[in-house]
């Protein structure tokens, strides 16, 4: 019984640190810089907006490639 | 008359003034044009995203767009990114909701040649990267203007970069602290339950290890700010709250490690994490406040003109502002903002001086009159000779003054900080003495260490640190319900201690809108004459014309717009037109005299006189009206022993009249923004604690200097950005409520500090003499915090 509890504790701790790592990565890459915009996106973004976001990333990548 | 919403901006207007199009209603041509543009481009989902929000009607700007492509401009603002594309930082004007951000980004991204367009909704700043071979910057700005917004470039300063990085660092530190604290709390439930039900040693050890793993990053990463603060404090021979937090948390941490490795006692990793987290959240809010001040400054700077057209050897040359020399001749077209101060040498025009004087009426200027930097030429072309270079011009002086004030704005220290200096020294000394006494007299190292740590834990600044924020939080939420936005909690305390309240006049004590207060007509006007006057007033956007138009609409049910011929605006004086071969002149007395029309009328206020075929038919007298509750508010402030002063850019007569109506003994007229700021500085030198209430850009320097700056919600964006308190419903009663609630909250803050001090006075001696084990110390510490929280909730109960 104790072993299970200890395993759960250790596993939970490792998992939570991994999640924290992702959040720090997100914060460092600027994903939390504009909280208000994020709220708006969460509430109002439609599938079209998500497709737009993919298109924009592709456009940026293509521009970089063509310029390099 | 019923109101309807504009289909584009969603602002409600009277049905009669709307432009109707089938079932659609628009408040102006701009809204109508943009509505159709968005529909045609398939961007109408903008209105779904906008929901019930409203936006400002589109900004119509008619300046020389080619300036954005000039070399001098590019040199200053345009950079290149790592891929070789051009990159510019912009401030987008007119953004009100997430839908506005979406629309701007969508339009920009859909433009061929734009690689990146990212707009920050919080501060309206944007970064645009584009391919210069496909489009120019002026085309990008045109795209933004096309959909009803405007963009200004701004120079990303070192201050902004530092503030942004600092905010990000603090955010990550706070995130780690909150994350670890929440996890420690969960694990703590098992540990504390185990004290009562029994817990296996192996499990307890693992719990200690898990808590250690979580508390370590909190102490050394998130808590590094306290170590730095304590270090720099000691370096400057100052004992501050940071030292107490750092030493308390470190000692509890070291002791917990000792317990973890088999020592006697209980671990306090949870206390370590909680203390750091609580206080770090407060620091993060301060960092956000500072970042917002830097953003406001950037917005202000972005509104400075970027260049000027000067006449050299009969040629017009565009030069950067810092290249303008004394004696240069500048040409200023209608709609342009003067960059530097000077004296008119040819032409005459009306100038919008609201950024300098706060007064909404344009001022007529002719040869030999002074033009001030930052004022806007509203109608005709003038040429003026530069008398002050950019560095010393009025507008740059305002910006510099605000910048200096913001960066060195002295804050009144809150009581907790004042107490912490002596409190920290006392606790650390008592703890050290406890350790030495127990070690040398009793000879027990472990007891000595435990008792010394108990002293620090029991005196942990939780209750002291919570005393102010808890009461402030409740006070601030109560104020928010009354539409009073306090940007930081500490302003409550400063407000409660204020000794002087300074008011701007226009827009603060008065509505800032002219109203017709009297009309003098020889004979009653016919319907035709009324329609002519209404049509004349309707043809101009001058505040006097708008006031006369509103007055006529209020008292006449049926008014038709009549077609006038040969309509002409006479700058600074009025309008002229013809109707059925009749010559109509309408405006001030000077215009009528210019047209050989005799007027014998004594007046103190603005005048709109109308003559048809040389015969004066009516004179309207206009005045700005005092806000409701102004008299009551001034009376309340004076009853509470506060000095009330009114500062205005207006003339003596108007200032005296308003001061008399409001029973204000101290007032000063003819004040420029810099005069106002200097006046406040002098008062501050006399140790006065000043509350400044203003609204316009002209009040911004004074607002930045005041201990508490209060702005009406309808005020200029710059002023709102600089102010500590915003009265969202523009009512002066809000000012009265701010004082009442601040004073009451401050009373409870003092009570809370008293509770935490009494608690320490009672418990610390017990800890010194070894009657308190660290666990009891930790529990009693929580109890003291609960007492403070409980007492704070009484603020609201008493208010009810």
Quick check: is B302 in a domain?
no
Mean pLDDT (whole number) for B596-606: 75
Q: Could you give the strand order of the β-sheet that contains B376-377, starting from the edge strand earlier in sequence?
A: B363-365, B349-352, B376-377
Mark whether B506 and B637 lie in a shared domain: yes
Split at pLDDT 50, 70, 90, the class of B410 is: very low
DSSP symbols for A7-58: HHHHHHHHHHHHHHHHHHHHHHTTTTS-HHHHHHHHHH--HHHHHHHHHHHH
Q: How far is CA B132 from the centre of its chain?
A: 36
Half-sphere exposure of B186 (CA within 13 A, CB side): 11
In this structure, the number of other CB atoms found within 10 A of the CB of residue B518 comes to: 11
Counting residues of chain B whose pLDDT is more than 70, the rounded percentage is 87
Measured in angstroms, the CA of B483 and the nearest CA of chain A are apart by 21
Same domain, B94 and B38: no
- Which CATH number characterizes residue B363's domain? 2.70.150.10
CA distance B698 to chain A (A): 30
- Measuring CA to CA, which residue among B510, B439, B477 is closest to residue B654? B510
Query: Rounded distance, CA B670 to CA B623, Å?
Result: 18
B98 contacts chain A (CB < 8 A): yes
End-to-end CA distance of chain A, in Å? Answer: 60
Please compute the mean of the pLDDT values over residues B67-82 and round it to a whole number: 80
Strands (E), B593-649: 606-612, 615-626, 643-647
B292 contact A CB<8A: no
Q: Is B120 on the interface with A (CB under 8 A)?
A: yes
Residue B97: DSSP 8-state: S
In a shared domain, residues B17 and B126: no
The per-residue b/e assignment along B430-458, b for 16 or more CB within 10 angstroms, e otherwise, is bbeebbeebbeeeeeeeebbbbbbbbbbb
Residue entry with tokens 């038919």: B617
Could you read off the pLDDT of B498-512 as tens digits, one per residue?
Answer: 999 999 887 788 887
Nearest to residue B146, comparing CAs of B38, B3, B234? B38
- Interchain pair B187, A9: CB under 8 A: yes
pLDDT at B200: 85
State whether residue B615 is helix, strand or coil.
strand
Residue B332 phi/psi, 5° resolution? Answer: -120, 120
A28 to B175, B186, B211: CA distances (angstroms)? 12, 27, 26
Instruction: Tell me whether A50 touches chain B (CB under 8 Å).
Output: no
Mean pLDDT of chain B: 81
Q: Which chain B residues touch A49 with a CB distance below 8 Å?
A: 102
- Residue B83 included in any domain: yes
CB contact under 8 Å between B200 and A64, yes or no, is no
Residue B773 has pLDDT above 70, yes or no: no
Q: Show the tokens assigned to B190.
A: 């098992």
d(CA B249, CA B219): 7
Same domain, B43 and B86: no
Mean pLDDT of B241-248: 79
Give the separation between CA B599 and CA B584, rounded to whole angstroms: 15
pLDDT band at B227 (very low <50, low <70, confident <90, very high): very high
Q: Can you give the residue range of the structural domain that contains B90?
A: 65-156
Last residue of a domain, one of B156, B177, B210: B156
What is the pLDDT at residue B367?
A: 85
B98 CB neighbours in chain A (<8 A) are 36-37, 39-41, 43-44
**Region B340-358: what's the mean pLDDT?**
80
Is residue B33, in this structure, part of any structural domain at all?
yes
Interface A:B, Cβ pairs < 8 A:
88
Candidate from B85, B164, B168 with C-beta closest to A27: B168
Q: Tell me: pLDDT of B213 over 90.
A: yes
Chain A residues closer than 8 Å to B210 by CB: 9-10, 13
CB–CB contact A10 B206 (8 Å)? yes
DSSP B82: T
pLDDT digits (tens, 9 = 90+) for B714-741: 665 566 667 788 887 778 888 888 898 8
Best residue of A4, A5, A61 to probe chain B, by most B CBs closer than 10 Å: A5
- Count the domains in chain B: 4
Residue B759: both structure tokens together: 């608690």
Distance between CA atoms of residues B42 and A44, nearest Å: 17
Asked if A34 lies within 8 A of B175 by C-beta distance, the reply is no
Chain A residues in contact with B119 by the CB 8 A cut-off are 37
The continuous run of DSSP H or E covering B576 comes out as strand B574-579
The answer to whether residue B313 is domain-embedded is yes
Cα–Cα distance measured from residue B65 to residue B54, given in angstroms and rounded to the nearest whole number? 28
Chain B 497-536, residues with CB within 8 Å of chain A CB atoms: none
Contacts of B268 (CB under 8 A, 6+ apart): B252, B253, B255, B256, B457, B774, B778
pLDDT in tens, B142-185: 888 888 888 888 777 666 778 888 889 999 999 999 999 999 98
pLDDT of residue B697: 65
Rounded to whole angstroms, how far apart are CA atoms B525 and B509? Answer: 35
Known catalytic residues of B are 504
Which tokens sit at B44? 């109408």
- State the angle between helix axes of B733-768 and B445-458 in degrees (0 to 180), rounded to the nearest 10: 170
* Predicted model pTM: 0.64
Mean pLDDT calculated for residue range B521-526: 78
- Mean pLDDT within B444-448: 78
Q: CA-to-CA distance for B607 and B590, rounded, in angstroms?
A: 10
B632 shares its domain with B740: yes
Residue B443 domain flag: no
Which chain A residue is nearest to residue B130, measuring alpha carbons? Answer: A63
Burial of B470 (0-12, 13-18, 19+ CB in 10 A): buried
Nearest to B71 by CA among B11, B120, B136, B135: B136
Q: What is the mean pLDDT of residues B598-623?
A: 82
In this predicted structure, which of B209-213, B244-248, B300-304, B548-552 has the lowest mean pLDDT?
A: B300-304
Measured between alpha carbons, how far is B167 from B161 in angstroms, rounded to an integer? 10
From CA B153, how far away is CA B361, in angstroms rounded? Answer: 29
Q: Hey, how many other C-beta atoms are within 10 angstroms of the C-beta on B21?
A: 12
Task: Check whether residue B651 and residue B505 sit in a common domain.
Answer: yes
> Nearest Cβ partner of A64 from B83, B102, B171?
B83
- Best of A38, A44, A46 to substitute, by most chain B Cβ atoms within 10 angstroms, is A44
Kindly state whether A68 is in contact with chain B, defined as any CB-CB distance less than 8 angstroms. yes
Q: What is the DSSP string of B312-360?
A: ETTEEEEEEGGG--TT-EEEE-TTPBP-S-EEEEE--EEEE-HHHH---
DSSP letter for each residue of B97-127: SHHHHHHHHHHHHTSTTEEEEEEETTTTEEE
B115, B138, B156 — which closes off a domain?
A: B156
Nearest to B90 by CA among B288, B336, B301, B291: B301
| Chain A interface mutation, best of B102, B116, B176, B215, highest count of A Cβ atoms under 10 Å | B102
pLDDT at B119 over 70: yes
Task: Name the band, by pLDDT with cuts 50, 70 and 90, for residue B294.
Answer: confident
Sign of the CA dihedral B308, B312, B316, B319? Answer: negative
Distance, in angstroms, between A65 CA and closest chain B CA? 9
Does A6 contact B at CB distance below 8 Å? yes
Distances (CA, A) of B475 to B371, B484, B640, B748, B800: 46, 11, 20, 10, 13
**CB nearest B131 (choices: A28, A44, A63):** A63
Contact A3/B at CB under 8 A: no
Residues of B in contact with A13 (CB under 8 A): 183, 210, 213-214
Within 8 A of B115 by CB-CB distance, chain A residues are: 59-60, 63
Residue B520 DSSP one-character state: E
Least confident segment among B51-60, B643-652, B681-690: B51-60
Do B487 and B635 lie in one domain? The reply is yes
Among B106, B116, B121, the residue with its CB nearest the CB of A52 is B106
> What tokens were used for B164?
């942004």
* Of the partner residues B83, B98, B102, the one whose CB lies closest to the CB of residue A67: B83
- CA gap B142, B204 in Å, rounded: 67
Q: Tell me: ipTM over 0.90.
A: no
DSSP-derived letter for residue B694 is E
Q: Both B506 and B640 in a single domain? A: yes
Asked if the C-beta of A5 comes within 8 angstroms of chain B's C-beta atoms, the answer is: yes
Q: Which residues of chain A have pLDDT under 70?
A: 1, 67-68
Do B27 and B94 fall within a single domain? no
Name the minimum distance, in Å, from the CA of A47 to any CA of chain B: 12
pLDDT-based confidence at residue B796 (cuts at 50, 70, 90): low
Pick the residue from chain A with its C-alpha nearest to B120: A34
Say if residues B562 and B579 touch (Cβ distance below 8 Å).
yes
Is the torsion defined by CA of B313, B315, B320, B326 positive or negative? positive
Whether B206 sits inside 8 A of A28 (CB atoms) is no
Domain co-membership, B637 together with B723: yes
**A48–chain B nearest CA distance, Å:** 10
Predicted local confidence at residue B248, as pLDDT? 79
Other CB atoms within 10 A of residue A23 CB:
16
CATH of the domain at B503: 3.40.50.1000
Residues from chain A contacting residue B101 (CB–CB below 8 Å): 37, 40
pLDDT class of B465 with cuts at 50, 70, 90: low
Confidence band, pLDDT 50/70/90 cuts, at residue B220: very high
| Structural tokens at position B624 | 């700005």
How far is the C-alpha of B754 from the C-alpha of B496, rounded, in Å?
18
User: Can you list the positions of beta strands (E) in B338-440?
Assistant: 342-346, 349-352, 363-365, 370-371, 376-377, 382-386
Option in B48, B115, B171 nearest A63 (CB): B115
Q: Residues A39-54: pLDDT tens digits?
A: 777 777 788 888 888 8
**Residue B185 at interface with chain A, using a CB cutoff of 8 Å:** no
Question: Which chain B residue is nearest to residue A19, measuring alpha carbons?
Answer: B179
Q: Which two tokens stand for residue B291?
A: 């970042």
Q: In terms of pLDDT, which residue wins out, B207 or B482?
A: B207
Nearest by CB to A6, from B49, B171, B203: name it: B203
Give the distance from residue A60's alpha carbon to the nearest chain B alpha carbon, in angstroms: 6
Section B608-624 average pLDDT: 86
Per DSSP, the three-state class of B717 is: helix
What is the per-residue pLDDT for B412?
43
pLDDT attached to residue B466: 65
- Helix/strand/coil for B712: strand
- Among the partner residues B109, B119, B206, nearest to A56 by beta-carbon distance: B109
Residue (of B766, B677, B199, B698) closest to B458 by Cα position: B766
Inspect the interface and report whether the beta carbons of A68 and B214 lie closer than 8 Å: no
Q: Token pair for residue B216?
A: 């370590």
Interface test with A, best of B161, B175, B222 (most A CBs within 10 A): B175
Task: Among B76-85, B199-208, B417-426, name the one with the lowest average pLDDT.
Answer: B417-426
């Amino acid at each position: 019984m104790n072993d299970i509890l200890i395993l759960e504790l250790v596993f939970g701790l490792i998992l939570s640190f991994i999640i924290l790592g992702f959040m720090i990565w997100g914060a460092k890459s600027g994903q939390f810089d504009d909280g208000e915009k994020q709220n708006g996106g969460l509430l109002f973004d439609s599938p079209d907006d998500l497709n737009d976001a993919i298109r924009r990333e592709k456009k940026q990548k293509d521009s970089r490639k063509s310029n390099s | 008359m019923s109101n309807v919403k504009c289909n584009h901006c969603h602002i409600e207007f009277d049905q009669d003034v709307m432009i109707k199009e089938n079932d659609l209603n628009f408040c102006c041509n701009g809204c109508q044009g943009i509505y159709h543009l968005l529909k045609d481009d398939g961007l109408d989902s903008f209105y779904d995203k906008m929901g019930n929000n409203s936006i400002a009607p589109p900004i119509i700007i008619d300046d020389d767009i080619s300036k954005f492509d000039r070399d001098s401009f590019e040199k200053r603002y345009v950079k290149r990114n790592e891929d070789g594309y051009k990159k510019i930082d912009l401030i987008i004007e007119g953004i009100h909701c997430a839908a506005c951000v979406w629309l701007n980004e969508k339009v920009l991204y859909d433009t061929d040649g734009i690689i990146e367009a990212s707009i920050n909704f919080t501060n309206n700043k944007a970064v645009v990267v584009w391919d210069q071979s496909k489009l120019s910057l002026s085309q990008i700005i045109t795209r933004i203007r096309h959909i009803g917004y405007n963009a200004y470039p701004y120079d990303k300063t070192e201050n902004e970069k530092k503030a942004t990085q600092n905010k990000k660092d603090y955010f990550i530190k706070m995130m780690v602290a909150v994350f670890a604290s929440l996890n420690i709390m969960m694990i703590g439930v098992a540990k504390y339950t185990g004290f009562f039900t029994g817990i296996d040693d192996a499990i307890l050890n693992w719990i200690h290890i898990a808590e250690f793993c979580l508390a370590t990053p909190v102490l050394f990463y998130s808590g590094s700010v306290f170590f730095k603060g304590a270090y720099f404090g000691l370096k400057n021979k100052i004992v501050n709250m940071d030292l107490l937090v750092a030493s308390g948390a470190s000692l509890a941490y070291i002791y917990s490690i000792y317990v973890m490795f088999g020592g006697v006692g209980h671990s306090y990793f949870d206390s370590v994490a909680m203390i750091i987290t609580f206080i770090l959240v407060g620091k993060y809010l301060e960092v956000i406040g500072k970042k917002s001040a830097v953003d406001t400054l950037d917005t202000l700077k972005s509104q400075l003109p970027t260049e000027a057209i000067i006449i050299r050897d009969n040629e017009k040359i565009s030069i950067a502002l810092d290249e303008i020399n004394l004696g240069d001749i500048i040409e200023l077209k209608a709609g342009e903002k003067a960059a530097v101060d000077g004296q008119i040498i040819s032409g005459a025009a009306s100038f919008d001086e609201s950024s300098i004087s706060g007064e909404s009426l344009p001022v007529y200027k002719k040869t030999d009159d002074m033009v001030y930097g930052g004022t806007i030429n509203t109608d005709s072309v003038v040429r003026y000779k530069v008398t002050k270079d950019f560095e010393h011009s009025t507008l740059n002086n305002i910006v510099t003054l605000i910048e200096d004030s913001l960066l060195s704005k002295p804050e009144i220290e809150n009581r907790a900080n004042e107490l912490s200096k002596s409190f920290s020294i006392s606790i650390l000394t008592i703890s050290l003495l406890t350790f030495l006494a127990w070690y040398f007299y009793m000879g027990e190292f472990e007891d000595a260490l435990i008792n010394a740590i108990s002293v620090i834990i029991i005196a942990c600044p939780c209750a002291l640190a919570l005393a102010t924020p808890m009461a402030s939080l409740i006070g601030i939420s109560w104020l928010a319900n009354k539409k009073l936005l306090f940007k930081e909690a500490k302003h409550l305390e400063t407000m409660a201690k204020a000794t002087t309240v300074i008011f701007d006049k226009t827009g603060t004590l008065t509505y800032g809108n002219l109203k017709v207060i009297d009309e003098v007509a020889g004979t009653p006007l016919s319907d035709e004459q009324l329609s002519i006057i209404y049509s004349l007033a309707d043809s101009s956007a001058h505040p006097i014309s708008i006031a006369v138009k509103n007055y006529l609409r209020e008292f006449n049910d049926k008014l038709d717009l009549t077609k006038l011929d040969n309509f002409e605006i006479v700058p600074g004086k009025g309008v002229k037109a013809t109707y059925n071969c009749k010559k109509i002149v309408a405006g001030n007395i000077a215009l009528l005299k210019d047209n050989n029309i005799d007027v014998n009328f004594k007046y103190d206020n603005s005048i709109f006189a109308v003559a048809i075929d040389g015969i004066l038919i009516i004179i309207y007298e206009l005045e700005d009206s005092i806000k409701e509750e102004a008299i009551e508010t001034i009376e309340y402030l004076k009853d509470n022993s506060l000095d009330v002063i009114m500062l205005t850019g207006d003339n003596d007569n108007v200032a005296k009249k308003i001061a008399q109506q409001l029973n204000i003994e101290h007032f000063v007229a003819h004040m420029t923004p810099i005069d106002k700021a200097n006046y406040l500085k002098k008062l501050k030198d006399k140790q006065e604690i000043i509350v400044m209430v203003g609204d316009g850009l002209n009040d911004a320097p004074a607002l930045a200097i005041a201990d508490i700056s209060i702005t009406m919600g309808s005020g200029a964006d710059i002023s709102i950005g600089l102010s500590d308190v915003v009265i969202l419903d523009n009512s002066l009663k809000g000012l009265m409520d701010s004082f009442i609630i601040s004073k009451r909250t401050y009373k409870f803050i003092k009570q809370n500090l008293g509770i935490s001090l009494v608690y320490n006075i009672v418990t610390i001696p017990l800890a010194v003499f070894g009657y308190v084990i660290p666990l009891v110390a930790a529990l009693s510490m929580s109890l003291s915090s609960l007492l403070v929280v409980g007492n704070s909730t009484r603020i609201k109960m008493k208010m009810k």
